[in-house]
Amino acid sequence: EPFTNSRSLTVEALCAKAHFRCGHASGGCQVRMPVVLLPWHEQQCMYKPMKCFMGRVWSDCRWQGREVQWKEHLEEQHDDRLFRSSSADLEWNLGTRRKPLTGYYVFQAHDEMFNFYEIHDRQRVLFTMTCTSNRRDSKYNFAYEVTVLLPDNEALSMTQKFPVHSEYDKDILMEGTCVSIPLTELNRFLDQDKVLHYRVSVLAVKSPRRAKPPRQNLPQPADLEQAPNGGVNVKSVPTNMII
């Protein structure tokens, strides 16, 4: 029969009830869910393929694998840039010309993992941090603090503190949402080799920020609690969608 532009409500109803495999099933994901939810799941599936971001920044790693394997790779190959504490002292050689994204580190603290970035923006430097949790509201529980200091005189310092972002946020470098210091102010903290010394701290917020309440005329979000299904990728999968 010739094709038609008419909708088949019967087929649509069947597809809505049917459960389909995740597109990353070949990598180990066992989740099955309605087709309309697959794009949402596959975007944050822990079995999706990825490249090591350390290699993109430091140019010393060509690892490719699955997101679920990345933490193990990080511990084995990049232990010098992984901090298992909520604070670390870092150095940044501003005398060396690099691309805008000059540094990348990972903090493992408060039962979460955080990505920390150094950015050189010609007239200023930026520092920003994101929480890697697939639960977007996790960011509301944390803040990060950057203190620029002189190693031989910590009494002379400059501190800025901002809320941690989510990996899904689009404004992580927007003015007023991250640490931003003009180079003119930074010069007095550089040593003779133009090395900047600074301290990064990940802080648990005692009074967590709250997301804006949903508008009353919009449907409430689905329950994103994870179900204790052994051997199943339950990363942000609604419990009623796991079979």
Domains along the chain with CATH numbers: 8-47 (no CATH), 48-77 (no CATH), 81-204 (2.60.210.10)
Q: Which of 3-7, 95-99, 168-172, 205-209 has the highest mean pLDDT?
A: 168-172
Coil, strand or helix: which one is 163?
strand
Name 100's Cβ contacts closer than 8 Å, sequence gap at least 6.
119, 120, 121
What pLDDT, on a 0 to 100 scale, did the predictor assign at position 126?
95
Q: How many residues make up the chain in this entry? A: 243
Instruction: Indicate whether 222 pLDDT > 70.
Output: no
- Which tops the pLDDT comparison, 171 or 207? 171
Phi-psi region of 59 (alpha: psi -120 to 50; beta: other; left: phi over 0): left
Residues 76 and 70: beta-carbon distance below 8 Å: no
User: Which percentage of the chain shows pLDDT scores above 90?
Assistant: 42
What's the pLDDT tens digit per position in 93-116?
A: 988 877 889 999 999 999 999 999
Tell me the backbone φ, ψ of residue 83, rounded to 5 degrees. -110, 120
